[in-house]
Structure 1
Amino acid sequence: MTTFVDRVVLHMQAGDGGHGCVSIHREKFKPFGGPDGGNGGHGGSVSLVVDAQVTTLLDFHFRPHLKAENGKGGAGSNRDGANGRDLVIKVPNGTVVQSLDGEVLADLVGVGTTFEAARGGRGGRGNASLANARRKAPGFAELGEPGDRLDVVLELKSVADVGLVGFPSAGKSSLISVISAAKPKIADYPFTTLVPNLGVVRVDNHTFTVADVPGLIPGAASGKGLGLEFLRHVERCAVLVHVIDTATLEPGRDPLADIDAIEAELSQYGGLADRPRLVALNKVDVPDGKDLADIVRPDLEARGLRVFDISTATREGLRELTYAMAELVDQGRRAAPPAEPTRVVIRPKAVDDAGFTIEAEPDGSYTVRGSRPERWVKQTNFDNDEAVGYLADRLARLGVEEKLAKAGAQAGDLVRIGDREFDWQPTLYAGVDFVPGNRGTDVRLEDKPNRPSASDRLAARKARRVRPEDEIEAAPAAEADAE
């Protein structure tokens, strides 16, 4: 059974916002008390947080689909819907969040680090919130905005100070078991270690972590053996230690060839050339191993490598090796740049930034891109004519229609906003004070070819507004005309 997983694909879905409510307050002697539809609740978000108690991505291997709670719909009597609960996912320290295309979205290092991967949708406004001086009793409400839906790749890269690299059965697991409290599986056959092992080492006042990377062999960087799956676990290591088997009986194997082969794989993987190296010649308790270590030590030192003769069986040379590890780790920590405090960068929008763009497509259509227009389209109930008219008003006030006209759009052209397509008809009465017809309808959407112009209707309305004093003055004149 799989017990360690360091790469998974997650399918995340944030909660949808709740729909707003259309309601009219009614009680005895108040048959029409005004709109009282409540707002919908916001959908829950999906967040990743680093937890010290989590060491593997195994849980997501069996449950890759994650969904936050939807917001509740609004109700009458100005009752707003409840917000959906956020879904918080605990991940191991060192988890990298990537898109399916390989783009790094977040690198989660440090307990408590949080990343909001999918944001919940906004709740729709009820008709009580949409009422204003012109639209006193809206017959529509906004729909809840859909939550984010995305697929991400989680990769675990162990956060360790020292990485032990070497051929299978070189003694890496034995070494980490004697210098720390880790108890990895140890056996006398290759590829005993199938998962990275982490151990905490304490030397005087220094504490650091050591990672045992499963067996690397020639071709590991291109997928051979287990190296490709676990090479990522040495990326964060500040120090690399070559663990060399000086007592191997395999033909063609010797310490220098082993180091050259491992270095070739590390170089092909990339990004590790600047890490300091140490060499641990293991199994010097075997007579042949001790002799071979004495032979190759001058050649290794000539390469500028610090060499240590060790034996995990007798614990010979382990004290010197751990002190050298602690020294290099301490140097790396002191050389690391100090963590900069988090600063909030405010970038105000340009004065002429309308918040949307219009693109003319080769097929003669037009595409409107912008967070506000796209969100408004998602929140519009297209089964309600009055809601569609309200959307047209908002787009006109934002300047979408004006820019479409400047871009060359003609009546009847195809216009895309978000996932919706429209046959564009310029709004003739946008911005004019009008009285809508039946609830849920909008007079601007009715086919009335003989409808008077806006200026004629405004003049007629002014003509009907006769002041009382005007009526008194006009009475004698009317009588004289009658005579």
Structure 2
Amino acid sequence: MTTFVDRVELHVAAGNGGHGCASVHREKFKPLGGPDGGNGGRGGDVTLIVDQSVTTLLEYHHSPHRKATNGKPGEGGNRSGKDGTDLVLPVPDGTVVMDGAGNVLADLVGHGTSYIAAQGGRGGLGNAALASARRKAPGFALLGVPGDLQDIVLELKTVADVALVGYPSAGKSSLISVLSAAKPKIADYPFTTLVPNLGVVTAGETVYTIADVPGLIPGASQGKGLGLEFLRHVERCSVLVHVLDTATLESERDPISDLDTIEEELKQYGGLDRRPRMVVLNKIDVPDGKDLAEMVRPDLEARGYRVFEVSAVAHTGLRELSFALAELIAASRAAKPQEEATRIVIRPKAVDDSGFTVVQEEDGLFRVRGEKPERWVRQTDFSNDEAVGYLADRLNRLGVEQSLMKAGARSGDGVAIGPEDNAVVFDWEPTVMAGAEMLGRRGEDHRFEAPRPAAQRRRDNQAERDDATQEFNEFKPF
């Protein structure tokens, strides 16, 4: 059964925003007390956050579909809907978030680092929030915006200072077990290590982490053995340590050829050429191993490697090795630029940025794209003529109609707002004023207006009677 997973595809869905409420306040002796519909609640976000207690992506391998809760709809009495609950997904330190095309969206390193993978939808405004001096009694409310749907890939890259690389059964697990408090599985057969093991080493005032990467074999960079799956765990390490077996029983192998093979695999994988390297000749407690180490050491040093002869079993040469690694780690950390304080980046919009675009497609359809018009369309209840008129007003104020005219659109041309797979398409009819104005005094109710003086009421009534008399005289039969 799988116990370690370092790459998964995750399907996340944020919560939808709750719909706004269209309601009119009613009480005794005051049947029409004004609009009191509340706003809908915001949909919950899906957030990834680094948790040091999590070391694998196994949980998401078994349950790849995750969804936050929706916001509640608004209610009468100016009661806003409850916001949806955010869904927080803990991930291991060093998790890389990518989209389906392999583009990196976030690199989560450090406890508490977070990334919003899917953002919850806005709640719709109730008619109380839509009321104004001109629109005293809106008979509609805005719909909630759907939450984001994202398909992302999570890939774990171990965060460590030192990576131990080498053939299977070269003694890497034994070495990390005596250098640190880690207790990896150790045996005398190949591929004992199936997951990266991490250990913490203290050498003087320097504390660093060391990773035992599963054994590499020829062709690992092309997917043979376990190498391709775990070579990514070497990428973040500052120092690479070649652990060479000086007591191997395989006649076709020796420390020099093992080193050349591993170096070729690292080169083929890419991105690891400039990392500081060190060579550890392990198993010198075996007589033949000690002799072989003394034979190959001059050749390795001639190549520029710093060489250490150790025995994980006899605990020989470990102190010198740990302090040498601490020296390299300290130099690597000093060479890295210090992290700057959090900066607020301001990206002002261009003065000529209208917030939307109008493009005529090959089939003659005019497509409107932009965050605002697309969101407004999603918030509109098209079964309500007043809501449609309100949308027409908003688009007109934004300048969409004027841009359509400039683009060459004529009466009856098709116009689509939104992407191809989810657009609202209609036949455009240019107007002098906004569509809502053509419907009359939209959203106004004479019952909410101040009472007219008695003299004004008498004049209005007399004018209505005169109009009726004139109309009767014009059309009465002879």
Q: Percent identity?
A: 69
Secondary structure of 1:151's aligned partner: strand
**Which residue is 1:145 aligned to?**
145
Report the Cα distance in structure 2 between the residues aligned to 1:214 and 1:350, rounded to whole angstroms: 52
Whole-Å separation in 2 of the counterparts to 1:405 and 1:278? 70
Q: 1:130 to 1:439 in 2, by over 3 A?
A: closer
Give, in whole Å, the separation in 1 of the partners of 2:221 and 2:405.
57
After superposition, the C-alpha distances for 1:172-223 in whole angstroms (9 at most, x for unaligned) are 0000011111111111100000000000111121111000000101111111
Task: Give, in whole Å, the separation in 1 of the partners of 2:22 and 2:142.
Answer: 9
Question: Does structure 1 retain, via aligned residues, the 8 Å contact 2:386–2:436?
Answer: no
Structure 1 CA distance, aligned partners of 2:310 and 2:265? 24
Give the match for residue 303 of structure 1. Answer: 303
For 1:137, give the aligned amino acid. A
Name the CA distance, whole Å, in 1 between partners of 2:109 and 2:442: 59
Counterpart contact for 1:12–1:149, Cα < 8 Å: yes
Q: Write out aligned runs for 1:123-202 (5 A).
A: 123-202=123-202
Secondary structure at 1:334's aligned position in 2?
helix
Task: Tell me how far apart the structure 2 counterparts of residues 92 and 411 of structure 1 sit (CA, whole Å).
Answer: 57
Superposed displacement of residue 130, structure 1: 1.1
Alignment partner of 2:9: what SS? strand
Report the count of equivalent residues: 443
DSSP-derived class of the 2:426 partner = strand
Out of 420, 424, 430, which is 2:428 matched to? Answer: 424
> Counterparts of 1:427 and 1:94 in 2: how far apart (Å)?
56
- Return the offset for 1:251: 2.7
Q: CA deviation at 1:34?
A: 1.4
Structure 1 residues 54-69: aligned runs within 5 Å: 54-69=54-69
Question: 61-70 or 130-139: which moved more?
Answer: 130-139
CA distance in 2, matches of 1:16, 1:147: 5
Quote the offset at 1:437 in angstroms: 8.0
**1:29-48 equivalent positions in 2, closer than 5 A:** 29-48=29-48
DSSP 3-state at the match of 2:72: coil
Larger mean Cα displacement after TM superposition, 133-142 or 190-199 = 133-142
Instruction: Name the CA distance, whole Å, in 1 between partners of 2:437 and 2:156.
Output: 60
Residue 99 of structure 1 corresponds to: 99
Cα displacement (A) at 1:116: 1.1
8 Å CA contact 1:368, 1:415 repeated in 2 = yes
SS of equivalent to 2:25 = coil
CA contact (8 A) 1:94 1:156 kept: yes
**Shift of residue 133 of structure 1?**
2.2
Is the Cα contact below 8 Å between 2:392 and 2:435 reproduced in 1? no
Contact 2:220 2:228 in 1 (8 A): yes
Worse-matched range after superposition: 426-435 or 81-90: 426-435
Farther-moved stretch of structure 1 (22-31 vs 270-279): 22-31
Q: Which residue of 1 aligns with 2:347?
A: 347
Matches within 5 A, 1:242-261: 242-261=242-261
Looking at structure 2, the residues matched to 366 and 344 of structure 1 have their Cα atoms a distance apart, in angstroms, of 38
Query: For residues 296-343 of structure 1, what are the alpha-carbon distances to aligned partners after superposition, in whole Å with 9 as ceiling and x for unaligned?
Result: 111100100001111111111111111111110011011110001121
Q: Which residue of 1 aligns with 2:325?
A: 325
- Give the superposition deviation at 1:288: 1.2
Contact 2:198 2:210 in 1 (8 A): yes
Mark the runs of 5 or more structure 2 residues left unpaired by the alignment.
Answer: 445-454, 460-478
Query: Following superposition of structure 1 onto structure 2, how do residues 185-334 of structure 1 map, counting pairs within 5 Å?
Result: 185-334=185-334
Shift of 1:394: 0.5
Shift of 1:383: 1.2
CA 433–99 in structure 1, closer or farther in 2 if over 3 Å, else same: closer
Tell me how far 1:439 sits from its aligned partner: 8.1
How has the CA–CA distance of structure 1 residues 133 and 434 changed in structure 2, closer, same or farther, with 3 Å as cutoff?
Answer: farther
Q: Give yes or no for the alignment of 1:70 onto 2:62.
A: no
Distance 1:216 1:45 in 2: 41
Structure 1 residue 351, shift from structure 2 partner? 2.1
Cα separation, 2, equivalents of 1:361 and 1:438: 34
- Looking at structure 2, the residues matched to 130 and 286 of structure 1 have their Cα atoms a distance apart, in angstroms, of 84
Moved more, 284-293 or 117-126: 284-293
Compute the displacement of 1:248 (Å): 0.8
Question: Counterparts of 1:336-415 in structure 2 under 5 Å?
Answer: 336-415=336-415
Gap runs ≥5 in structure 1: 441-466, 472-483
Query: Is the CA contact 2:121–2:144 (under 8 Å) kept in the aligned structure 1?
Result: yes
Aligned partner of residue 409 in structure 1, secondary structure:
coil
1:480 aligned partner: none
Over the aligned positions, Cα root-mean-square deviation in angstroms equals: 1.7
Cα distance, 1:118 vs. partner?
0.8
Tell me what 1:479 maps to: none
Secondary structure in 2 matching 1:177: helix
Confirm or deny: 8 A CA contact 1:392 1:427 kept in the other structure: no
Residue number in structure 1 paired with 2:121: 121
Letter in 2 for 1:246: T
Amino acid paired to 1:134? R
Query: Which runs of structure 1 show a deviation greater than 3 angstroms over 4 or more consecutive aligned residues?
Result: 431-440
Question: Partners in 2 of 1:345 and 1:373 — Cα distance?
Answer: 26
Alpha-carbon spacing, 1:432–1:139, altered in 2? closer, same or farther (3 Å): closer
